[in-house]
Structures are given as structure tokens and as C-alpha cells.
A and B are shown apart, each in its own frame.
Chain A
Amino acid sequence: MAIIAIQNLTYHYPQTTQPALQDLSFQVEEGEFVAVIGANGAGKSTLCYALTGFAPHFFRGEMSGQVLVAGLDTRHTPLEELMLVAGLVFQNPGNQISGAKFTVYEEIAFGLENLGVPPAEMRPRIDRIMALTGITDFANRSPYALSGGQQQRVALASILVMEPKLLVLDEPTSQLDPIGSREVFETIRAMSKQGMTVIMAEHKLEWVATFADRVIALANGEIILNGPPAEVLTSPLLIEHHIGQTRYTTVAKQAQAEQLWPPERALPVVIDEAEAGFRAYKK
């Protein structure tokens, strides 16, 4: 069953003439890992907000078409109920720390307190999520004393503990260093492996290629590509729309023109495919 069903979604922020999203239609199956790519301003963040109901509930603006998340029509469902279904994690780790709590453990409990979960039920849920996101060691530290990557995992845990059916991530690693990025990506991958549906807007194409089951490319608020990573990430449209491509694709494409890459072979998006392709031709 599709957990997300979007039909002809068009969205304008208040007082703008250009739509931020234009006539989007797609579905996501339960358990899928979908990456959303696109240049800055292409509509990635807005799509994340639309999937979680912040557009239009929080930002106002004009919306037409329909967004169904786990059967709920986002336009007619209050934000607080959508939060139970779709969790949102975004770029800046510092701004996702609530400020209401003094330790990581309490920070993760914050969402559960707001939902009215009985305290006895909280502890096992928090313990499980902390282990899953690898932050058990920081339980008693201040969330503000952590590195960006650690903070982002706290933000992730704080959302996951509320047990949403769908995790929406808006460039979760854009402000992080390589170690922090890897920590966060690995955590997200672990969640996905457990069956969580993940939608992630992301610039880092090498990670997208490694993780995603499917890639949606946006340009000027419209979907230009929607398919498996190997297909989307090697499309010439990505260069045309300033999204870029991995160096593996670039180099193989040029090599192909010089007969240094097998002519019938698909272009690579990850290092293993690149290695295999070049090796095949060396013989």
C-alpha cells in the first residue's frame, strides 16, 4: 500500500507569484527509501514541508491538489496529528534542540511528554531509540554540549521516539563534517533497514546513490526525473538543471567517448560499478 500519495500538488508561499511546487504527482510505498535531489531553490525543502503538513498549516500560502500521508489528507488534518505519522528532521542541528530540557535523555522524552505518554512507557522507548541512534553514552549530557553530528542524531532520536510511520529529512547532513555526516547517514540507513519509510532531500549524490531505492529530481518546483538511482543519477538532465553528478558518472561518460568505457554498459553512480566497468574494459 502506498504510504504517500500525492496528486497534482501545487503550492505557493504567501505573497509569491511563482509556485514553489508545481503539479507534483507521485507515490511512495511503505518501507521505501526515496531521495529527493535538486538545486537550491528547486523545491526540496518545500516538498518536505508539504509531506509533513507544515505547508500549508505552518507557512500558510496556497495549496491545490492532494497530499495523502498514511491515508490522512494533510490539508484537512491538524498538524499535531500529522506529527504522529510523519516526523521531520531538518538541516540545522542547533535549532532542533528544544531548549526545554537539560539532558539528552529528557530532550528525547520531550515529544512523548507532549503526547501524554505515561512515564513508565517512556523509558523503554527512549532506551531503545538511543541505542538505535548510538547516543546512549550522551544520555546525561547537555544537548548543547554535543558536536553537530551528535546533535543531529539527538534530533533524529527525538523524532523517531514518537514512532512516526514516515521519516522526512531535509538535508540532514548539510551542516555537518564528514564524520558527523557518516554517523547520521548510517543511522538513517539503519532505520530504513528496519522498515521505516524514508524521504530524504540531499545534495551529496554519492550517498544518495549508495542508499536510495529511488530518486526524485526536482527543478523549478517540478519533477523532472523519478526512478532508480542508476537511471536518474546518470541522466544528462541533471547537468542541464544544475544538480550535478558523481565524479564516477562524469569520468565514465568521458571515457566512453574515448572508447575507454564499455559502450553498452550503463554509467556508474557508485565506486563499485565504476571499478567493475573500468576493469571489464581493461581486459
Chain B
Amino acid sequence: MPDNLSLYIERDSPLQRLNPLTKLAISFSLILIGFLGPGYWLATLLFICVLVPLSIWGKIGPEFLQRTVRLILPLALFLFVMQSLFYPGGRTVLWRFWIFSVKLEGVQFAYLTATRLMNMVGAFLLLLLSTHPSTLMTDLTRRGVSPSLTYILVSTLQIIPQMRNKANTIIDAQRSRGLETQGSVRARIGALLPLVGPLVFGSLVDVEERAIALEARAFKAKRVKTSLIHVPDSVRQRQVRIGLVVLTLVMIGIRLWPL
């Protein structure tokens, strides 16, 4: 079982070395432009011409494609089936069988939605696969994001797998006390409290100790924190980020006030 929920893949590449904020800006601008931008093929183009090359540049191409497809494929199939058959106002019938008819407008709408989602999932994955969470958080903290907030985000990534191990032990302990966890729906619902109870109570006990441990490490000290990791940034990257923000704003503007 992995020790944390981070998706980061350690590779030596220029993409990995980019400042996390730059990658964050790339991801969010791609997502927004994909959704708001004009044209039927825009999201597809962004994915193929921007995200895929970036992932190859980051030496994470295969992992990127595999994960994106695995996440988006079931959703896309569902969209195509539902929209092509039930899209309201669809008139152009492409194909007909029994009581169903596949309509062009539905297929087009499904395609547009699916590619935009793929573009969004891809943009997030590019960020997560190429950025170590602690690098991202270090950089955000340095830029003024509250350390408590970044702590909660990072520790959640690590504590959830710990809780999953604990949950398995609890299930074992309660089954050993004669609790039926399989079988009827009633049995399963009845098994919920004995499983969730110890997990919650146990976490409350842990929370106090964790708080003491954090205090003991001077987490609450009113000093300017430093960081072991130096996260590099450059003027060029800052220019790129400003460019991306401007581009995104322009897209939003065009959307709101069409020419």
C-alpha cells in the first residue's frame, strides 16, 4: 500500500523543475480556456497540441495518457450513450433502431463535453504528476498562503492511507467479535457503526497527540518560517504566468461580451 496519496512521478525533466505556480497557472488557464473558449475543436486541440507535448517534455507521457484515459473513458461512454439518445431538441437523426434514435446534436454535445472534461482532467493530472505536493506547498507558503492550510492539505494526503490501514484492522477486530460484515443490506448497515465508531473515536485520541507533537516542533511559533527546499523561479516564468492570466482574461472577456 502506498504511504501517501501523492501522484507525483519522480523524473528529471524541465517540466518537473518548473516553478509549481507556473504549472498551476498552465493548468488553470488550460481548463478555463477549454471551457470558455470558442470553437468545437478547441478542447481537443488543447489536449493534443499542448497537454500531450507538455507531458512528453516532462517524461511522463505514457503515465499521463494512461491515467487520463482510465479516468475519462467511462465518463465519456456514459455521456455519448445518454446524450446521443436523449439530447433534448435533437432533430438530425443519424441512425435508428427499435424505439431509439441517435441524433447528431446529441453526439456533438457529448463530444464537446467529453473533450472539455478530458482537457480538465488532463490539466490537473499534468500538474499532479509533475509536481511534488511538498514543493507546491512550500512555494505557496512562501507566497503567503497560510501554513495551517497547506499543512491540512499535505497531511491529508498522508493520513488517509494511515486511516485506511486502521479501518482494515477495525473491521478485523469486529468480525472477530462475531460481527457479520457480509450478506444482506441490513447486516451491512448494522455493521457500519462498529466500524466507523472506533475510527472516529480513535482519531479524536490521535488528534490531541498530533497537536502536542506539532507544538513540540514549534509549528505555532510566531516567527518567519524558512524552508529547506529552495523552489526556483525565474523572471521568464513570471512573464509566462502573466501572459497566461491575460490570455485567460481575454477569453473570459470574449465569452461575456461577444464581438
Asked whether the complex places CB atoms of A and B closer than 8 A, the reply is yes
Q: Which residues of chain B (215-259) have a CB below 8 Å from chain A?
A: 215-230
Query: By the criterion CB–CB under 8 Å, are B161 and A144 in contact?
Result: yes
Size range of the chain A interface in the assembly: 35 or more
Measured CA separation A52–B132 after assembly (Å): 35
Q: Which residues of B contact A92 (CB under 8 A)?
A: 206, 209
B210 within 8 A of A: yes
With A95-B206, A95-B209, A115-B223: A100-B215 Cβ-Cβ less than 8 Å: no
Query: By the criterion CB–CB under 8 Å, are A102 and B6 in contact?
Result: yes
Query: By the criterion CB–CB under 8 Å, are B223 and A99 in contact?
Result: no
Q: Which residues of B contact A114 (CB under 8 A)?
A: 217-219, 221, 223, 225
Q: Which one of A90, A98, A142 lies within 8 Å of B217 (CB-CB)? A: A98
Q: Which residues of chain A (64-114) have a CB below 8 Å from chain B?
A: 79-80, 83-84, 87-88, 90, 92, 94-102, 105-106, 109-114
Q: Which one of B214, B217, B230 lies within 8 Å of A119 (CB-CB)? A: B230
Query: By the criterion CB–CB under 8 Å, are B210 and A113 in contact?
Result: no
Q: Which residues of A contact B214 (CB under 8 A)?
A: 98
With A109-B228, A114-B223: A144-B158 Cβ-Cβ less than 8 Å: yes
B146 within 8 A of A: no
A159 within 8 A of B: yes
Q: Which residues of A contact B217 (CB under 8 A)?
A: 83, 98, 110-111, 114, 158-159, 162
Q: Which residues of B contact A123 (CB under 8 A)?
A: 228
Q: Which one of B134, B206, B216 lies within 8 Å of A88 (CB-CB)? A: B216
A145 within 8 A of B: yes
Measured CA separation A280–B198 after assembly (Å): 56
Interface of A is mostly: helix
B154 within 8 A of A: yes
Query: By the criterion CB–CB under 8 Å, are B226 and A118 in contact?
Result: yes
Interface centre among A79, A105, A114, A162 (most CB of B within 10 A): A114
Measured CA separation A82–B255 after assembly (Å): 57
Q: Which residues of A contact B132 (CB under 8 A)?
A: 102
B side interface size, CB within 8 A: 36
Residues 23-62 of A, flagged 1 when their CB comes within 8 A of B and 0 if not, give: 0000000000000000000000000000010100010000
Query: By the criterion CB–CB under 8 Å, are A80 and B158 in contact?
Result: no
Q: Which one of B206, B218, B224, B227 lies within 8 Å of A111 (CB-CB)? A: B218
Query: By the criterion CB–CB under 8 Å, are A113 and B226 in contact?
Result: yes
Measured CA separation A96–B217 after assembly (Å): 10
Query: By the criterion CB–CB under 8 Å, are B215 and A83 in contact?
Result: yes
Q: Which one of B4, B154, B213, B229 lies within 8 Å of A96 (CB-CB)? A: B213
B78 within 8 A of A: no
Q: Which residues of B contact A58 (CB under 8 A)?
A: 211-212, 215
Query: By the criterion CB–CB under 8 Å, are B226 and A79 in contact?
Result: no
Query: By the criterion CB–CB under 8 Å, are B155 and A52 in contact?
Result: no
Q: Which residues of A contact B230 (CB under 8 A)?
A: 119
Query: By the criterion CB–CB under 8 Å, are A88 and B228 in contact?
Result: no
B12 within 8 A of A: no
Query: By the criterion CB–CB under 8 Å, are A162 and B158 in contact?
Result: no
Measured CA separation A82–B3 after assembly (Å): 33
Query: By the criterion CB–CB under 8 Å, are B209 and A113 in contact?
Result: no
Interface centre among B158, B212, B216, B225 (most CB of A within 10 A): B216
Q: Which residues of chain B (159-175) have a CB below 8 Å from chain A?
A: 159, 161-162
Query: By the criterion CB–CB under 8 Å, are A99 and B220 in contact?
Result: no
Query: By the criterion CB–CB under 8 Å, are B216 and A87 in contact?
Result: yes
A267 to chain B, nearest CB (A): 38
Q: Which residues of A contact B154 (CB under 8 A)?
A: 99-101
Measured CA separation A80–B218 after assembly (Å): 6
A236 within 8 A of B: no
Q: Which residues of A contact B159 (CB under 8 A)?
A: 99
Query: By the criterion CB–CB under 8 Å, are B221 and A113 in contact?
Result: no
Query: By the criterion CB–CB under 8 Å, are A95 and B133 in contact?
Result: no
Residues of A at the B interface (CB closer than 8 Å) are 52, 54, 58, 79-80, 83-84, 87-88, 90, 92, 94-102, 105-106, 109-119, 122-123, 142, 144-145, 155, 158-159, 162
Q: List 19 A-B contacts (CB under 8 A).
A: A58-B212, A80-B221, A95-B206, A96-B209, A99-B154, A99-B155, A99-B159, A99-B210, A100-B154, A101-B134, A106-B134, A106-B228, A106-B229, A114-B218, A114-B223, A115-B218, A115-B221, A119-B227, A123-B228
